[in-house]
Amino acid sequence: MDPDCLFCKIVSGDIPSTGVYRDDRVMAFEDINPVAPQHVLVIPVQHVTFLSTADESQEALIGHMALTADRIAAERHIQDSGFRLTINQGRDSGQEVDHLHMHVTGGRKLGPIA
């Protein structure tokens, strides 16, 4: 846990969130500023700063994040209509929170990827 990290504080419960799913490796919660009718964030429980600082020992964890996102999409009935998984990485992507996260967005026709 990084004591200065917003999402670590969400994991610990120091900052409240609307939880969607949790197990020993990942946690999912509603994005506080949704950009689509469905907007969930999937994060590792352990602090991983960036996709680009993850190492091979975290491959399964990142795969588990993606499959968790897909299951959430299924539960929310957007698996068939379609949804998007987004990882923002670094300055040009607009990444704001330096704790790896996947955005799951859907529930309407999404625009082109910028």
Exactly one of 15, 60, 67, 74 binds ligand AMP (CB under 6 A); that residue is 15
What's the CA angle centered on 42, arms 11 and 46, to 5 degrees? Answer: 45
What is the per-residue binding string for ligand AMP in 90-109, x denoting contact by CB under 6 A?
A: ----xxxx------------
Does 5 bind Zn ion (CB under 5 A)? Our answer is yes
Residues 52-91 contacting ligand AMP, CB under 6 A: 88
Smallest distance from the beta carbon of 83 to ligand AMP, in angstroms?
15
What's the CA angle centered on 100, arms 59 and 23, to 5 degrees? Answer: 70
Q: Active site residue: 39, 47, 64, 101, which one?
A: 101
Residues in the chain: 114
What is the rounded distance in angstroms from the CA atom of residue 20 to the CA atom of residue 1? Answer: 21
| 106 three-class SS | strand
User: Catalytic residues, which ones?
Assistant: 101
- Give the binding site for Zn ion (CB under 5 A): 2, 5, 7-8, 47, 99
